[in-house]
Amino acid sequence: MSKKEESAQEQPTSPSTVPVKSGNDLENIRDILFGNQARATETRLGELETRAEAMRQDLLNEINVQTSSVNDRLSKKIGDGRKEFDSRLQRLDEQQTTLVNNTRDALSTQQSQQTKKLSAEIEQNRQALSDEVERITADFQQQISETRKTLQDGLNRLQTELSERLLSLQSDMHRRDNDLRQELLTMTAWLDDKKATRLDLGEMLIEMGQQLQNNNQPEAADLDSE
């Protein structure tokens, strides 16, 4: 707290330094009594918004990490499947070539049949591997979609809850400000009618400040708990 604000808060205790006025003086008195609480509340609201943004960014980062991890696993699975496919295809081709070379002269008819059989096996293996790759791809894409939806739903719920909490706090602050303003105006009018002394006014303002500070303690505790 600055020296100016400390000096301003000490003024209500002296009868000679508390003028009974309206307009800007009431605003100054209000700022002296309640300015720190209002600024503290605004600071807490700003911190809450910053924390909400940080949590949102963390969730987005988690989505990116999860997506990247799933993509890496999918790429590895596809790569391994392709390597196995190429290896098996190469072995089948080598078997076919060896069989053709060994039976070319004596078994031309059998060679043709074996060639067709091996070609059919190659095609079956190719189709089986292709189906497996497609199945793995579909499974990982579904996992990615479900993970993204889960994280996005959590983020949306968090943003909604924080927005509702901020609106509630802002509405409560506005209501308290209006109540305080009305109470100050009413008190000023009453004091004018009663011809109260400056000492009486100072004591009443101090009592109001202490009461408002006590009322604000539960609200401050709620903000800190967030």
Most confident listed range (4-8, 59-63, 220-224): 59-63
Q: Position 136: which residue type?
A: I
Give the total number of structural domains in the chain: 1
What range defines the domain where residue 135 resides? 3-214
Distance, CA of 31 to CA of 8 (rounded, Å): 10
Neighbour tally for 147: CB within 10 Å: 16
pTM comes to 0.30
Residue-wise pLDDT for 37-51, tens only, equals: 777 788 888 888 888
Instruction: Report yes or no: 202 and 30 within 8 Å, Cβ to Cβ.
Output: no
226 domain-assigned? no
What is the percentage of the chain residues whose pLDDT exceeds 70? Answer: 68
- Position 85 scores a pLDDT of 79
Residue 83: inside a domain? yes
Q: For residue 209, what are its two tokens?
A: 């400040």
DSSP assigned state of 18: -
For the cut 80, the answer to whether the pLDDT of residue 163 exceeds it is: yes
d(CA 120, CA 101): 19
Q: Is 222 part of any domain?
A: no
**Does the residue 155 lie in any domain?**
yes
Q: What is the pLDDT of residues 83-140, one digit of tens each?
A: 887 888 788 788 878 877 777 766 667 667 777 888 888 889 889 888 888 888 888 8
